[in-house]
Amino acid sequence: MSEELGLTIKKNEDFGKWYLEIIQKAEIMDIRYGVKGFPVYMPTAMTVIKQIENMLEKELEKTDHKPVSFPVVIPEKYMTKEEKHIKGFCDEVFWVTHAGKKKLKERICLRPTSETAMYPLYSLWIRSHLHLPMKLYQTVSVYRYESKMTKPLMRGREFRWIEAHTAHKTYKDAEKQVKEDMTIFENVVVDKLALPFMLFKRPDWDRFAGADVSYAYDCILPDGKILQIGTTHNLGENFAKPFSIEYMDQNGKKKYVNQTSFGPGIARIFGAIISVHGDNKGMILPPEVAPTQIVIVPIYAKKTKEFKTDILKKAAEVYGKLSKNYRVYLDDRERFTPGYKFHDWELKGVPLRIEIGPNDIKNKNLVLVRRDTLEKIIIKEGELETKVVEAFSDTFYELQKRAQKLLTIEDVKNYSELKKKLKNGGIYRIEFCGNEKCADKIKEDTGAEIRGTLFGKEEKVKKKKCDICGKKASIISYVGKAY
C-alpha cells in the first residue's frame, strides 16, 4: 500500500465491496485457497478470533463448563441416529468414502455440528443423577457444504465456533441453561465487543434439526441484512432417546436426560465487528479484542537527525510503561513515512495511536489519536496511563452508540408495503398468523425470512389480521433478509 492508498470503496455506497476490500487490504483472510469456501485465516484474523474465543471460554468456565475435544469425523451410524437431525443436515454434509485407495466399509462425515459425535459418549459417561448436570464445550472448526454464495467470515464451508453441550435432569433445568447461555453471550458480545443483537425464538419450521426450541442471536449489518452470530437450542429428550442417554434418579428410576446446545459463531462475530464498527478508512476494533491496542509512531524529519534520538528514547519509554498492561507496538520502521503508518494502522483498526514529534519533546507532551473519531488529544506525559484508560472507555461507548443505531425496527401497514421496504433491506415487525405457507410466500416474493418472535418481550397483536394472508394474526414476528 502506498501512502496515498487506502480503501477505494465507501461503506455507504457499496457495503459488499467495501467489506471484501477490508478483508483483503487489512490482511484478514486470503480466499485464494484451492477449494471454494475454505479461506485461509491470516494472523490478524486468528489473533482477534482467539481473543473472542478466550472471552467466551472464560465465561463458560465461570459457569462450570469443562473443555473437551472430540474428533472431526463422525461415523454414519452416529449421524443417522436422530432422524430429524440427519434430515436437516443431509444436503450440507461432507462425506469421506475412501482412505487411500481403499473404500471405507462405513462412510464418515466431517462434523457439521457435534451432537451426534458427543452424545454416544454421553450415554457411557452418564449413569446417575450424581453425574448431572454435565456441561462440556469445545472450540473447533465445523464443515458444511454451503450452497449459497460464500462470503469471508459470514458464510463459508469451514468456520470457527464454540459449541457447548449440556445434559440435565429435567426440562426445566435445560430451560435455565438456555437462559444462562444468553447471559454468557451478552456478557461478551454486547459488554466487550459493543455489538447489539436481537434475540429471536425461531419459528417451529425453522428450528435446529432435532431441537424442541431454537433461539437465534441476530445482528443487523449496515446493508440492512441480518447475520446470525449465535444460537442456543433446548433439545429436550430428542437426542437422549435415540442415543440412550439415561440416568438413575434418587429413587432408583431410569430417566432420559434433557439437553441443550449453544453455538456462538466466532468467525461471524468477527465479521460483524468489521461490518458494524468499520468506516471508510478500515476496521475499528473494540479495545478488548484488538491484536494491537496501541501503536506508538515516532515522528522526525528525514533530512535531519535533530531530536531523533530523543524521540526514539521517549517512544521506548512510553512503550515500556504501557506494554505491562496493553498490547503495544512501537512502529520505528524507517522505510515508511508517518503518513503511511497512519493509513496502515487506521486500516487495521488499532484503537489508539500515540504520536511523538519534536514539539512534543520540547513541551513534554504526547499526542493521542482515537481510531473511532480520529480526534487528536494533546496530553502531558504524566497523564498517559489515565488518558489511555479514558480513551478506551470512550471508544467502547462510542462504538456501542453507533452500533445501536443500526437496530432500527419498522412496522408495516400491509404486505405491499413490506415487499416494497424489503427491497432496501432492514428488519420489519409484522402481525403474523404463524403459518409456514405465509413464511414461504414472503421468501418466494422477497427473499426475506421470518426470523421469529422477540425473546423476553411479550408483544400483542393490534390489527389482529395477518399482514400476509389477512387471516387471524396470533403473534408479532420479525422479517428480514439474511446472509
List the grid coordinates of 347: 486500516
Which residue intervals of the chain bear CATH 3.40.50.800?
294-394
**Maximal CA-CA distance, the chain:** 87
* pLDDT at residue 303, as a whole number: 56
At 3 the pLDDT is 41
pLDDT in tens, 361-385: 999 999 999 999 999 999 999 999 9
Predicted confidence at residue 306, as pLDDT, reads: 65
pLDDT of residue 4: 46
Strands (E), 265-424: 294-298, 328-330, 352-356, 365-370, 376-380, 409-411
Summarised one tens digit per residue, pLDDT across range 165-182 is: 999 999 999 999 999 999
Fold (topology level) of 409-480: Translation Initiation Factor IF3 (3.30.110)
**115 within 8 A of 85, measured Cβ to Cβ:** yes
Q: What is the pLDDT of residue 378?
A: 96
**pLDDT of amino acid 302:** 62
Which pLDDT score, from 0 to 100, does residue 304 have? 52
Q: With respect to CATH, is domain 294-394 assigned 3.40.50.800?
A: yes
Q: Locate 163 and state its grid cell.
A: 459449541
| Mean of the per-residue pLDDT values of the chain | 94
What's the pLDDT score for residue 5? 59
What is 15-277's CATH number?
Answer: 3.30.930.10
Q: Where in the sequence of the chain do the CATH 3.30.930.10 domains occur? A: 15-277
Measured CA to CA in angstroms, residue 425 lies from 170, 186, 197, 225, 419 at distances of: 41, 25, 16, 6, 10
Q: How far apart are CA 392 and CA 250, in angstroms?
A: 52
What is the per-residue pLDDT across 19-39, written as a single tens digit (0 to 9) for each? Answer: 999 999 999 999 999 998 899
Q: How far is CA 104 from CA 98, 108, 143, in A?
A: 5, 8, 20
Kindly give the parts of the chain with pLDDT less than 70: 1-5, 302-306
Looking up cell 405457507 gives 437
Chain region(s) in the chain for CATH 3.30.110.30: 409-480
Sheet strands (E) in 267-347: 294-298, 328-330
